[in-house]
Amino acid sequence: MTRVRSLLVAGLLVAAGALAEEPCSIAAALAAYTAGDYPRAADLFERARGCARFEATDHYNAACAQALAGRADAAFASLQRAVALGWANVEHLGGDPDLASLRADPRWASVVRATETLAASDRRIWGGAAFETPYRDELSEAERIAGLARYWAEVRSNFAFFDQVPELDWDAAFLETLPRVRAAASTADYYRVLQALNARLRDGHTNVYPPEELWERVYSKPGLRTARVEGRVLVTRVIDPALAEAGLEPGLEILAIDGEPVEAYAERAIRPYQAASTPQDLEVRVYGYALLAGASGTPVDLEVENAAGERRSVRVARTTQEELAKVAPPFRPIELTTLGDGILRVDLRSFDTSAVVEEWLARWSEIAAAKGLILDLRDNGGGNSGHGYRILATLLDRPVATSVWRTRLYRPSFRAWGNAEGWHVAGEGRIEPDAERRFGGPVAVLIGPRTYSAAEDFAVAFDVAERGPMIGEATGGSTGQPLAFGLPGGGQARVCSKRDTYPDGREFVGVGVLPDREVRTTVADLRAGRDPVLEAALEAVRAAAVR
């Protein structure tokens, strides 16, 4: 059951916590399940079924608890209700260990058949196999138009943030894009047209991705990291040792790209194709992630200037991500560094895999012995919110609420009756303190525009917990549950279908999670090798540690 719930309701089981046994509390039933008390969970599900609104997943989860409690008749009844309300995940049904006790029962085959029938019907309606044609350098006009239509329809049905782009008429945007799609000379050109349309939605979790066959032509770049600092575009990191040997170093200002002033180049060639949720998110994408991207092996001519005002031209080659990985330091999702006065800095660079949690727990004795912690999330692009919550649980002494989410609720008959579309709203989740581990010393969290998605979910919960200051800049301001689908030529798209807020309803998508203390890195800081954000956090943690 846990895997299903985490797929459909990100982080809910991790966050459920031991709630009061309210008569209609599905969350209380989930908490009993996660605690391993399956008879009690089954009782609570049955109690809640009589007075709470049950979705298909709730009936499925009830079946899991009932099967583990040895109540086969009740479990089969719950599975039948789940399928009747739309449960169609055949693969998960077949492999869920919670239901192992039911598979020898003659009734199991009928449940599988009913689920398979429903899944086949769903694929006929939503599968889109006819649209997902293989890659070719040039797609037919019919394919290009079909892909535009599918993308437009999925956005229209599922996008959670139309209110944040009130000037956008989505139907008019379709008509404006149609002649450009028809005129696209190549598959690469076609995907650029779709990306330009997608950028108008201004959401970092709603994206169009070209086919894998084009990645080397569009995503390759030099082994440099760049950023816009105080209105100037600077090299912030040199990843490729060969470029360092050629004299490229952090702090160099990029004045021009291929003979064009850098700002003009960015506005013309980069900005129109970037989907971003906030101004700070857009700036990172334009002047960081995408600025120097292009075809593998093609050179980029840069005009650069050092701190002394000396200018020179330098030519650098773009390289694939695979080639760059061979010369770059290995990526580690977590890294610990001991600072002065017993304070430990923990770089949490990704929540993508459970490796970050496993390493955190493996090094718990070192973490627990620290006099203070600084958690650096400035380069954490997200992943699985549950991994972040698992780490946060070791820093808490009380339950903490996580974000509230909602998704659009379209009911055809209601529309026929003249009613507006509504929302399905889910209550807040909760993170329970780790029963075995707790760090009680001072903690500070570093955030910035590259802090994204699941890392922002962590920041929201940390903020709610009032566990310590967040220092730096506003986060990227984008999280949610993307709905992915294929496009002609082997490309992909995704649409953000879930809208998250603070538990009290405050918006952070489209805004960013705001720091308690804003600290920005200046050009002078970068050139001197200073990290003022870390310095401010170190000062705050030291002060708290001596109280």
CATH code, domain carrying 67: 1.25.40.10
Taking the mean position of all CA atoms in its chain, how far away is CA 456? 9
Positive/negative CA dihedral, 541, 543, 544, 545 = positive
Residue 435 has a pLDDT of: 86
Write the CB contacts of 271 (distance below 8 Å, at least 6 apart in sequence): 282, 286
Q: Are residues 184 and 190 in contact, defined by beta-carbon separation less than 8 angstroms?
A: yes
Are 304 and 350 members of one domain? Answer: no
* C-alpha count within 13 angstroms, C-beta hemisphere, residue 505: 1
Are 257 and 119 members of one domain? Answer: no
Are 533 and 439 members of one domain? Answer: yes
87: exposed, middle or buried (Cβ count in 10 Å: 0-12, 13-18, 19+):
buried
Locus of tokens 């080397």 = 216
CATH of the domain at 504: 3.90.226.10
One-letter amino acid at 215 equals W
Rounded Cα–Cα distance for residues 508 and 531 (Å)? 26
pLDDT (tens digit per residue) in 408-467: 999 999 999 999 889 988 877 788 899 899 999 999 999 999 999 999 999 999 999 999
Q: Are residues 68 and 100 in contact, defined by beta-carbon separation less than 8 angstroms?
A: no
In a domain, 423, yes or no: yes
DSSP string over 470-538: EEES--------EEEEE-GGG-EEEEE--EEE-TTS-B-TTT-PPPSEE----HHHHHHT--HHHHHHH
Task: Take residue 185 and report the two structure tokens written for it.
Answer: 């000379």
Q: Bridge-partner residues for 343, per DSSP?
A: 372
Locus of tokens 């001991």 = 338
In a domain, 107, yes or no: yes
Residue 1 has a pLDDT of: 63
Residue 128 has a pLDDT of: 82
Residue 116 has a pLDDT of: 94
Are 477 and 512 members of one domain? Answer: yes
- Beta 232-238 vs 224-229: how paired, if at all? antiparallel
Residue 23 has a pLDDT of: 58
CATH of the domain at 273: 2.30.42.10
In a domain, 518, yes or no: yes
Are 346 and 415 members of one domain? Answer: yes
Are 412 and 448 members of one domain? Answer: yes
Q: Name the domain count of the chain.
A: 3
Task: Take residue 66 and report the two structure tokens written for it.
Answer: 């009932």
Are 298 and 425 members of one domain? Answer: no
Residue 13 has a pLDDT of: 37
Residue 403 has a pLDDT of: 93
How many Cβ atoms from other residues are within 10 Å of residue 203's Cβ?
A: 29
Rounded Cα–Cα distance for residues 276 and 384 (Å)? 20
Strand residue runs (E) in 378-442: 400-401, 404-409, 422-426, 430-431
The tens place of each residue's pLDDT in the chain, 547 residues long, gives 633 333 333 333 333 333 344 557 787 888 788 778 999 999 999 998 888 778 899 999 999 999 999 999 999 999 999 999 999 999 999 999 999 999 999 999 999 999 999 999 888 888 888 899 999 999 999 999 999 999 999 999 999 999 999 999 999 999 999 999 999 999 999 999 999 999 999 999 999 999 999 999 999 999 999 999 999 999 999 999 999 998 999 999 999 999 999 999 999 999 999 999 999 999 999 999 999 999 998 999 999 999 999 999 999 999 998 998 888 888 899 999 999 889 999 999 999 999 999 999 999 999 999 999 999 999 999 999 999 999 999 999 999 999 999 999 999 999 999 998 899 888 777 888 998 999 999 999 999 999 999 999 999 999 999 999 999 999 999 999 999 999 999 999 999 999 999 999 999 999 999 999 999 999 999 999 999 999 999 999 999 987 6
Helix axis angle for 26-34 and 38-49, nearest 10°, is: 170
One-letter amino acid at 207 equals N
> Percentages helix, strand, coil for the chain, rounded to the nearest 5?
45, 20, 35
Are 290 and 258 members of one domain? Answer: yes
Are 466 and 529 members of one domain? Answer: yes
In a domain, 207, yes or no: no
Rounded Cα–Cα distance for residues 428 and 537 (Å)? 30
* C-alpha count within 13 angstroms, C-beta hemisphere, residue 24: 6
In a domain, 407, yes or no: yes
Q: Are residues 213 and 490 in contact, defined by beta-carbon separation less than 8 angstroms?
A: yes
* C-alpha count within 13 angstroms, C-beta hemisphere, residue 17: 19
pTM above 0.95, yes or no: no
* Structural domain harbouring 95: 2-126
Closest CA to 103 of 72, 74, 80, 69: 72
Radius of gyration of the chain measured on its C-alpha atoms: 26
In a domain, 531, yes or no: yes
How many Cβ atoms from other residues are within 10 Å of residue 509's Cβ?
A: 26
Rounded Cα–Cα distance for residues 172 and 317 (Å)? 40
In a domain, 40, yes or no: yes
Are 302 and 340 members of one domain? Answer: no
Are 283 and 374 members of one domain? Answer: no
Residue 11 has a pLDDT of: 34
In a domain, 214, yes or no: no
Rounded Cα–Cα distance for residues 5 and 13 (Å)? 7
Are 252 and 401 members of one domain? Answer: no
Which residue, 319, 353, 388, sits at the end of a domain? 319
Which residue, 104, 126, 148, sits at the end of a domain? 126
Residue 127 has a pLDDT of: 81
Which residue, 284, 319, 354, sits at the end of a domain? 319
